[in-house]
């Protein structure tokens, strides 16, 4: 009886392990967006990004600071406040992140450089 129980347990354990190896959950990604192009232009690179729910965007200060990221409040005021990083970054390489938990298209801009066209969007699928 003990030998039979050990065999059943071994088979069950093997099935569970093989299932976990085959059906692993998709891991979230982190995407990088430069604030200021390498050539010194006042823009986000990339300016149009498509990601999945659960993914994170890291904005990195690149050139011509100060920069920040403010999401358009006319689309969804509560979501805009949650996603925005209004504090200005000055040092090259300084960064901040946002994880997106809902689908949608989110337009954002840099407050000091919005008039210069520093506007971009994230589409979350």
| Cis peptide bond N-terminal to 76, omega within 30 | no
Catalytic residues: 67, 110, 113, 118
Whether a cis peptide bond, with omega within 30° of 0, leads into 46 is yes
Tell me how far apart the alpha carbons of residues 24 and 38 are, in angstroms, rounded to a whole number. 38
Model confidence at 38: pLDDT above 80: yes
In CATH terms, the superfamily for domain 27-124 is Cupredoxins -  blue copper proteins (2.60.40.420)
91 phi and psi, to 5 degrees? -80, 140
Percent of the chain clearing pLDDT 90 (strictly above): 68
Span 44-101, pLDDT tens digits: 999 999 999 999 999 999 988 999 999 998 777 888 899 999 999 999 999 999 999 9
> Which range among 6-15, 42-51, 82-91, 107-116 shows the weakest confidence by mean pLDDT?
6-15
Q: Is the pTM higher than 0.75?
A: yes
């Amino acid at each position: 009886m003990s030998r039979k129980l050990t065999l059943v347990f071994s088979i069950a354990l093997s099935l569970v392990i093989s299932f976990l190896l085959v059906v692993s959950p998709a891991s979230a990604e982190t995407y990088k967006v430069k604030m200021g192009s390498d050539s010194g232009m006042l823009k986000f690179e990339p300016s149009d990004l498509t990601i999945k729910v659960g993914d994170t965007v890291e904005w990195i200060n690149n050139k011509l600071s100060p920069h920040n990221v403010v999401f358009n409040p006319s689309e969804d005021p509560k979501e805009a406040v949650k996603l925005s990083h209004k504090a200005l970054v000055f040092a090259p390489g300084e960064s901040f992140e946002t994880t997106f938990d809902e689908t949608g298209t989110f337009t954002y801009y840099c407050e000091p450089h919005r008039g210069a066209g520093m506007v971009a969007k994230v589409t979350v699928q």
